[in-house]
Structure 1
Amino acid sequence: MKRENRLEAIINELRASKEPLSGATLANLYQVSRQIIVQDIALLRASNYDIISTNKGYLLIDPPGKYKIFKVYHNIEEIADELYTIVEAGGRVNDVFVIHEIYGEIRAQLWLTSKSDVDNFVTSLAEGKISPLMKLTGEYHFHTVEASSDRVLDLIERKLREKNYLVEV
């Protein structure tokens, strides 16, 4: 397959995927090395495609969805419920961030789109692989949530408010 055709095919794969695609997955799909995929992604970025790298693979931010930042508060035991509430209502949890009084904004990418993603994240917390940022700020934190429409974002907001996770700003 010629590079030009492969670049178009990669964009189509990334657009169709709701979850990040690893370089190895794309390499197997197009029967090239992972290094070729890395070069292809660099070319696509140079062509103004908004492709981000996550710990799970590449993700195309195209077309941009609707975004809303939610300020939330809950204890550590409620993390899974809060995140399930968002993804089950049709949202994607792009990140978590806190505003620390000394360090300023501290942000971590999450890219949680499903219950399985949430389960993996919560398992990592339970195993001590990662520590929730909310521990730095007395359990207050923010999420950037993406959804297909304002209606879905409104639904997520309503559900978070019903569970008393939402903090009015």
Structure 2
Amino acid sequence: MTQAKEKRISAQVRRNSILKRLQKTSDPIKGNDLAEFMNVSRQVIVQDISLLKAEGQPIIATSQGYLLLNQAQTNGIRKIVACNHTVSETEDELTRIVSCGVTILNVTVEHPLYGEITRSLMIRNRSDVQNFVQNLESTGASLLSSLTDGVHLHELEAEKPEQMEEAVHSLKQAGYLL
């Protein structure tokens, strides 16, 4: 029991450590990985992240883990596209976008009761697409677009206009654009 107490660090030191880890990478870090590293439960990490957000830290929760947004990640060309497709076409839609070098920042649906619902995705490459699809299948969860018969918005980000044009053209070609 004494060893367990010695391994634990103060809450503020832990939050600072979480922030430093997020600052060192542009890849999302899973809550479970942070919890294991900090020798605390995942729920403690969730609370720490909430407190860091309340302090104004630009941390987002994605399906791949936590990510700290910085200026370098938010200076690209952005576009919102309206899409409609079936659940089985999700992987194809996402793959078409990232194959053009475009990042899928989020998904938004317009719910009749709650209004606009937006969730961060931060899907950057085919590996992220595979992880998203595997999580979808393994959890049995529903896509947000299931609330709106497949209709949803994606905010996209690209470094170059040509990448964005190529992604939009690919979505249009597949019949996913509204």
Q: Summarize the Cα distance change of 1:159–1:102 in structure 2 as closer, same or farther, 3 Å threshold.
A: same
Query: Residues 93-143 of structure 1: CA distance to partner in whole angstroms, max 9, x if unpaired?
Result: 121111122321122222211212212222232334310111111211111
TM score, norm. by length of structure 1 = 0.70
Q: Secondary structure at the match of 2:24?
A: helix
1:101 equivalent in alignment to 2:112: yes
Match of residue 122 from structure 1: 133
Of stretches 65-74 and 99-108 in structure 1, the one that deviates more from structure 2 is 99-108
Q: Distance in 2 between matches of 1:110 and 1:136?
A: 17
**% same residue:** 33
1:142-169: CA deviation from partner (whole Å, max 9, x where unpaired): 11112223332122111111111111xx
Gaps spanning 5+ residues in structure 1: where? none
For residue 145 of structure 2, what is the aligned residue in structure 1?
A: 134
- Specify the code of the residue in structure 2 equivalent to 1:58: Y
Whole-angstrom distance in 2 between the partners of 1:51 and 1:149: 25
What residue is the counterpart of 2:59 in the other structure? Answer: 51
TM-superposed CA distance for 1:52, in Å, is 2.8
Q: Secondary structure at the match of 2:140?
A: coil
Matched, 1:61 2:69: yes
CA 1:34/1:92 → structure 2, altered by over 3 Å: closer, same or farther?
Answer: farther
Offset of residue 85 of structure 1: 0.4
Alpha-carbon separation, structure 2, partners of 1:43 and 1:138: 36
Map of 1:21-32 to 2, 5 A cutoff? Answer: 21-22=29-30
Unaligned runs of 5+ in 2: 1-12
Moved more, 119-128 or 129-138: 119-128
Distance across 2 between alignment mates of 1:43 and 1:98: 27
* Count of aligned pairs: 157
RMSD, aligned CA: 3.4
